[in-house]
Amino acid sequence: MTIKMAMLLSTFSLALSGCGTAVTVLQGDEEATRGLRKQKTYCQSIPRIYSGLAHNFCRLHAPSDPTGILVQVVLLDLTLSGALDTVALPYTIYRQATDGNIRIYGRPGRG
């Protein structure tokens, strides 16, 4: 494998691991919200429908990142999350109806 290919694959895997949709749809609620709590977002909960976009907006709705890199990564991820959220709509609509919002702060449950 060439160095260029290795760099491309590592960049792609890093982008997917930070993808809002992958974080909120493929992981449990606790894992999905851990990063938002760590980042001290001001969001209290996010809906499951288009949760990837909501996750990214919550990342932007937090105290500012001193490096300035976070904003660029989140803005890049908005497009990818929007597309993946649309594909996941049947599943997330069902989960929203049965489980309610994903709580970031407060007690888990409907909301």
pLDDT digits (tens, 9 = 90+) for 5-27: 655 555 555 455 558 999 999 99
Asked whether residue 83 is assigned to any structural domain, the reply reads: yes
- Report the run of H or E that residue 103 belongs to, with start and end: strand 102-103
Which pLDDT tens digit goes with each residue over 38-55?
989 999 999 999 999 999
Asked whether residue 34 is assigned to any structural domain, the reply reads: yes
Asked whether residue 108 is assigned to any structural domain, the reply reads: no
Asked whether residue 22 is assigned to any structural domain, the reply reads: yes
Asked whether residue 110 is assigned to any structural domain, the reply reads: no
Query: Could you tell me the residue range of the domain that residue 11 belongs to?
Result: 3-103
Is residue 111 pLDDT above 50, yes or no? no
Asked whether residue 111 is assigned to any structural domain, the reply reads: no
Asked whether residue 93 is assigned to any structural domain, the reply reads: yes
| Domains identified in the chain, total number | 1
Q: What is the pTM of this model?
A: 0.76
Which pLDDT tens digit goes with each residue over 42-92?
999 999 999 999 999 998 888 887 777 878 888 888 988 999 999 999 999
